[in-house]
Amino acid sequence: MSWTDDRVELLKNMWGEGKSASQIAKELGGVTRNAVIGKVHRLGLSNRATPAKAAKEKAPAKEAAKAKPKASAPSSETKPADKPLNIPPRKPIITAGQPLPPQPSTSEISVEALENVAQVEKKAKKLHLMELTERTCKWPIGDPATEEFWFCGLGVQQGKPYCEAHNAVAFQPMSARRDRRSR
């Protein structure tokens, strides 16, 4: 089944009418409820009022408009329709060129390991992704959205993806992790 323009329009109309994803899937035929939900989200139609809620919100507004004339000053009362929706915020999408979100604290990593990493990165081969092999350190350095992004490229420790210095930062002993959790 493919999403033709006609089927997408029918989906939009039925979604706007407040029909459930199951009802829409049944009406369209050949699609599942999950396929309908996925298409709704890709089309950006996910926020809508159900018919019951829409009818409740419209009815009091019409009656209130007939019952009392419009006031010139806004009222201090808050109507249910005026209250903000309690929708949790989405996680930010990071695009190229934006700074990365806060990373875990480096204070948990030993100072010696960080100094070693600084020394090793001066000697690094500065490889690009396509130059990496199973014997080269795959530690990323820099911002991937810039031209100055590269991988360490030094020889790896047996069975590990990184060189000795980067392994010391990436793989911490189990006891050190347990100690941090108990704080």
**pLDDT given for residue 45 in this prediction:** 82
User: What DSSP string runs through 129-148?
Assistant: GGG--TTB---EES-TTSTT
Amino acid 115: pLDDT: 79
**Mean pLDDT (whole number) for 106-132:** 79
Q: Is the pTM of this model over 0.75?
A: no
Q: Are 41 and 12 in contact (CB under 8 A)?
A: no
In angstroms, the CA 151 to CA 139 distance is 5
Best CA proximity match to 136, nearest among 161, 112, 102: 161
Percent of the chain with pLDDT over 70: 58
Region class of 44: left (phi > 0), else alpha (psi between -120 and 50), else beta: left
Average pLDDT over residues 13-33: 90
Residue 130, pLDDT above cutoff 80: yes
Report the greatest alpha carbon distance in the chain.
81
CA distances from residue 97 to 101, 143, 151 in whole angstroms, order as listed: 12, 8, 18
Residues making up the chain, counted from first to last: 183
| pLDDT greater than 80 at residue 108 | no
pLDDT at 23 over 90: yes
154 closest CA partner among 131, 136, 142: 136
What pLDDT score does 156 carry? 92
Chain segment 49-90, per-residue pLDDT in tens:
555 555 555 555 555 555 555 555 555 555 555 656 666 666
The CA-atom distances, in angstroms, between 119 and each of 48, 113, 127, 166 are 56, 10, 17, 11
- Between 52 and 12, the higher pLDDT residue: 12
- 174 or 63, greater pLDDT: 174
